[in-house]
Structures are given as structure tokens and as C-alpha cells.
Chain A
Amino acid sequence: RSFTSQTDGEARVSRVLREKFPRASTIKVVDISGGCGAMYEIHIESEEFREKRTVQQHQMVNQALSEEIKMMHGLRIFTSTPK
């Protein structure tokens, strides 16, 4: 899917993540609820995750998206650090 066909929800979540994770090398947000904004899959690679346990990395994403998450039914998070 091309960048220009991003949903409003995907764009908003991406924007929040870019603000909260300025050192992120990759941010990918996909609405996996068929465009309903009910469920998102988030992939984020950032130096800010280095040396942190996965659950801590996911917590950082949860905190960053605390307002957006209130509107979601669920979300999937995949974090990583640059090679």
C-alpha cells in the first residue's frame, strides 16, 4: 500500500511516535482492523530501546500512545534496535 493511502488514524499514531521517539530509525503503523481504527500493529526501531527489556520497550510505546490507546480495542507492538 502506498504512503498516500495511510488512514487518518495511522497518520496520527505515526506522528505521535515520531514526536515521542525522535531517535527512531523506522516507524511503521498499520491499522489491522480494516481501517476502523480499532486495532493497530506498530513496528518501531530506535536507539532509545537499546539495553531495555522487551516489556520495558513496549511500556515506552504504551506511555507514548496513552491517549490514542484509549480509543483502541487493542494493539500489537514490535520493537527493535538498529543493527
Chain B
Amino acid sequence: GSMSGALRVVWRWARGGGGRALSQAATGTTGDSGAQGGGGSGGSGSREAVERLVRAHPVVVFMKGSPAQPQCGFSNAVVQILRLHGVEDYRAHDVLQDPDLRQGIKDYSNWPTIPQVYLNGEFVGGCDILLQMHQNGDLVEELKKLGIRSALLDAEKDQDKK
């Protein structure tokens, strides 16, 4: 379906831009060496640590801010799309709280931006891809594979009844 009113507001917010460049953002606010290259074994940005996080739950999101209070329009878009599908039970990790994780997740997926969405431990993409999946029906199918019934299926059923 077309973008809901909530998502339209999100896109206007996202266009505000501003903030640090991706290379600066990658090193974190303190610029310490721990933020480089994901750190040593056991660090929160290490490959092992990230692997544990992405496998911890069928739906895992790395974002700026929290689902209750997103700090970026693109992260908010991911939260809103999941909400539209009735997916409220998922793991969300605020990379703004953890510079090592912020860099580590980018190294892990070899993807330069946040948010990042993982379904069943597999990197699916950022908010543009999730939006595309939402619009073309792929997200409903992918959720079904995880044993999650999208709320939109019930919404359609209600419409058919009218």
C-alpha cells in the first residue's frame, strides 16, 4: 500500500540531514582506538559479540535511539514499518550508546550505514530496503518464514469482509 501518514512525517524529518560524516561517526565520540576495526575478542564491537546479537532473536535492529525514542528519521522509519506489521517483540540496539558496536556492526555486515535490519541472523538491509519489502509484500513473506504473522494480513481480511 502507499506510505502511511506516520511514514510521510518520518521522511520529512529524515531530510533534515546534518550531523557528522560517516567516517567520523565510525570512530565514535571519543575517537579511541577501541572503536577501530571492531576491537579485540570480547569487545562489544567484535565479530563474535555482533554474531551473538544478530542470532539472539528472529528480528534484530541496530538503530540510532530506541524504538520508543528514535534519534534518526531512517531508524524511525524501520520502527514504524515493523509497528505497521504488528512486530513489537524484537531486539533493538542503540548504536549511539556504544561506539564500538556502531563500528562493529558496520564491519560485520560490510554496510556503511545505520539502521541495519537482521531477520533470523541474516542481514536484510537498511530502511530503504525494508520500505521496499514492505511495499512489495516481501516483508509479510519473510515474517511468515519466521513464524510471525503480519498484522497487515488481518487488516486485509477485515477489508475483504466489508
Question: What is A's interface to B at a CB cutoff of 8 Å?
Answer: 32-34, 36, 38-39, 54-55, 58-59, 62, 66, 69-78
User: Are the CB atoms of B111 and A73 closer together than 8 Å?
Assistant: no
A55, A62, A75: residue with the most chain B Cβ atoms closer than 10 Å: A55
Distance (whole angstroms) from the CB of A1 to the closest CB of chain B: 16
Complex CA gap A33/B156 in Å reads 37
Complex CA gap A81/B117 in Å reads 24
Residues of B37-87 whose CB lies within 8 A of A: 74
User: Are the CB atoms of A74 and B125 closer together than 8 Å?
Assistant: no
Inter-chain contacts of A77 with B (CB < 8 A) = 128
User: Are the CB atoms of A69 and B128 closer together than 8 Å?
Assistant: no
Given A38-B18, A55-B123, A70-B23, also A76-B128 (CB < 8 A): yes
Inter-chain contacts of A32 with B (CB < 8 A) = 15, 17
User: Are the CB atoms of B20 and A73 closer together than 8 Å?
Assistant: yes
How many residue pairs link A and B with beta carbons under 8 A? The number is: 54
Inter-chain contacts of A33 with B (CB < 8 A) = 17-18
Extra inter-chain contacts (5) besides given A39-B15, A54-B125, A59-B111, CB under 8 Å: A33-B17, A55-B123, A58-B128, A72-B21, A74-B17
**B19 interface contact, C-beta 8 A:** yes
Inter-chain contacts of B4 with A (CB < 8 A) = none
Complex CA gap A78/B131 in Å reads 11
Inter-chain contacts of A73 with B (CB < 8 A) = 17-22, 25
Distance (whole angstroms) from the CB of B161 to the closest CB of chain A: 34
**B110 interface contact, C-beta 8 A:** yes
Distance (whole angstroms) from the CB of A62 to the closest CB of chain B: 6
Give 10 CB contacts A-B under 8 Å: A32-B17, A54-B132, A55-B123, A58-B129, A70-B21, A70-B23, A71-B22, A71-B23, A73-B22, A77-B128
User: Are the CB atoms of B128 and A78 closer together than 8 Å?
Assistant: yes
User: Are the CB atoms of A69 and B22 closer together than 8 Å?
Assistant: yes
Complex CA gap A76/B73 in Å reads 12
**B113 interface contact, C-beta 8 A:** yes
User: Are the CB atoms of B112 and A69 closer together than 8 Å?
Assistant: yes
**B124 interface contact, C-beta 8 A:** yes
User: Are the CB atoms of B22 and A72 closer together than 8 Å?
Assistant: yes
Closest to A31 in B: B17
Inter-chain contacts of A74 with B (CB < 8 A) = 17, 22, 74, 113
